[in-house]
Structure 1
Amino acid sequence: MKKVVLPAYNKNIIKAIRSLHVDECNPLEPGKDEVLIRVHAAPCNPSDIAFLMGGYNIVKKVPAVPGFEGSGVVVEAGEGAEDLIDKKVSFFIQEEDCGSWSEYVVSNRKKLVVLDDAMDMDQAACFAINPFTARGLLDIALLRDNHTIIQNAAGGQVAAFVRQMATDMGIEVIDIVRKERTVTRLKEEGARHVLLESDPDFEQKLKKLAAELDARLAFDAVGGALAGRIFNAMPSDAEMVAYGGLSTRPVSGIDSMDLIFRDKIISGFNLPEWREQMDDDF
């Protein structure tokens, strides 16, 4: 069995990627309620990049196998999971001794999504993280009874899922992007409110639009100075939820007076914790 191995973490992502190599390992065996999956495809997400750099919440003993999600077919099963043999699945794994950048993985059945035969397996490889992240973020909007949200990195996949789900829920979305061509693309796709972060009047436009639409919830995938600019433009009783750090920089430029006198807060969203909460609830 072959697997991709990260020999050591490296904050220089180029060096981290160049250090990856393919290695042979012993076959895996599923335990109780577990299955052995022959991997069809596994993506590289921002969380994987952070993991390679040693900057993610999950730190494995190195050498380690990267990858947190993928798609494949169940080829073996332990006790209590025999009904899943030959099923096409999307999986989510974070175990110490396993990663999706491998020919085979072992996963607990609770961390699988059984797929319809018609579903494209390449697309299914990206099914376990981005759509669930979007749903978890929108749960916050529903709990807060927010009718408008702000999101940066709006050209990405999580943002696309947020946009679609929010539309279905009757929630307005203010999208923030880095490139003019992304503004054009999103508007062609039907996005109503798209702002360019490099616009000289960006903060003024965002503040005006946030006030008009009562946008008191923001989803931040970037961090850095942009997160601070968004936070400062939001009205009172607002919350910014950080779920990524694409800029690799800490959130900065926050107006502390907003925290003290305008009841504005910053929180974080952790997908594994949300999934565990869902398991407990159901």
Structure 2
Amino acid sequence: MKKIVLPRYEKNIIRAVRSLRVEACELPELNKNEVLIQVHAAPCNPSDIAFLTGEYNIVKPLPAVPGFEGSGVVIDAGEGAEDLIDSKVSFFIQEEDCGSWSEYVVSDRKKLVVLDNAMDMDQAACFAINPFTARGLLDIALLRENRAIIQNAAGGQVAAFIRQMASDMEIEVIDIVRKERTVERLQNEGARYVLLESDPQFEEKLEKLAKKLDARLAFDAVGGELAGKIFNAMPADAELVAYGGLSTKPISGIHSMDLIFKDKIISGFNLPEWREQMEDDYFEQISQEMQSLFISGEYQTKIQGSTSFEKISDGLIHCLRNLSKGKMLIKAFDKE
């Protein structure tokens, strides 16, 4: 089989992308409850970009195969997973010896999302992480009975799913973005409250809006000073949930007195742990609900195009220069 290999971590993302190469290897053997998936497509996510530079929380021994999610068809199975052969699946993998930027991957059956035959396989390639992350975060809002939330990195795909799901749940959203053109785009898409973090009055506006809407829950994908500003702007009994670190900087600027006297807290959200903690029947119910929304077209991941293994470097550099246009899919043989 063929796979994409990262020979070394590079702080410069362009050098990291240029270093990628295609290698051949033997198909892996299967253990109990494992399946062999012929990969249809795998996206390039922000987590993959961070991984290539060595700045993600998962660091694999080198040389390593990048990629954490994708879609495909089960073509072989070990003992206890034979019933999944020929099933269409979406998968999320973090193992050191495996990555989704490959012709074939091995996965434990418990880490798969079995798909309806009507599910589009390009959309399925981006299904295992972002939509479930959005749903998991909003489960926190439902448990806390919060009717308004704050989120940064609001121009991204997770944020887009959060807006859609929050609207269905009648939860207000305060969106925070870095660029003026993103403000205009989100407003044109129907977002009600969009703040520009570079606005000189950003903190004042955020605090006023958070108080008005009683926004006591924030989802942080960035970290750094921005996370601290959001935390400080929220009312008492608030929670900041960190689920990403796009800035690669630690959360800073926290008002410690808010932790002591205003009952504010900071927590983290990890998608695999969220899934492991729930009953299989409940996860299957959520999966079927979301698949129906994707099949109907109500929910969609924005995809800008695809690239083949042989054109991986050029394809990813194009993707990096056009991130607002959507995901770039990686396919062993790009027929488009």
TM-score by shorter chain over 0.5: yes
SS in 1 for 2:150: strand
- Cα deviation for residue 105 of structure 1 reads 0.3
> Unaligned stretches of 5+ in structure 2?
283-336
Q: Kindly indicate whether residue 16 of structure 2 is the aligned counterpart of residue 16 of structure 1.
A: yes
- Give me the whole-angstrom Cα distance separating, in 2, the residues matched to 1:127 and 1:278: 18
Partner of 1:267: 267
Distance in structure 1 (CA, Å) of the matches to 2:184 and 2:270: 31
Deviations 1:196-248 (A, max 9, x none): 11222211111111001100000011111111111111111111111111112
1:67 maps to: 67
Q: Give CA-to-partner distance per residue, 1:10-30, whole Å, 9 cap, x none.
A: 333333222221111111233
Pairwise CA distance, 1:55: 2.5
Aligned to 1:240: 240
What is the distance in 2 between the residues matched to 1:170 and 1:251? Answer: 30
Letter paired with 1:277? Q
1:125–1:190 CA distance, 2 compared to 1 (3 A): same
Query: Root-mean-square deviation (CA), in Å?
Result: 1.6
Shift of 1:128: 0.5
Match of 2:93 in 1: 93
Question: Residue 120 in 1 paired to residue 120 in 2?
Answer: yes
- Paired residue type of 1:224: G
Write the letter of the residue equivalent to 2:208. Answer: K
Structure 2 residue 52 is the aligned partner of structure 1 residue 52: yes
User: Match of 2:175, SS?
Assistant: strand
Q: Aligned residue for 1:215?
A: 215
Identity %: 83
Rounded to whole Å, the distance in 2 between the matches of 1:18 and 1:189 is 36
> How far, CA to CA, are the matches of 2:12 and 2:97 in structure 1?
24
- Which runs of 5 or more residues in structure 1 are unaligned? none
Q: How does 1:28-39 map to 2 (within 5 A)?
A: 28-39=28-39
TM-score, with normalisation over the residues of structure 2? 0.80
How far did 1:48 drift? Answer: 1.4
Q: TM-score, normalised by structure 1?
A: 0.95
Runs of 4+ aligned structure 1 residues displaced above 6 Å come to none
| 1:281 shift after superposition | 8.6
Aligned counterparts of 2:53 and 2:271: Cα–Cα separation in 1: 20
Distance in 2 (CA, whole Å) between partners of 1:91 and 1:179 is 32
Tell me the distance in 2 between the aligned counterparts of 1:278 and 1:94. 20
| CA–CA separation in structure 2 for the residues paired with 1:6 and 1:200 | 41
Bigger relative contact order (CA 8 A; separation at least 6): 2
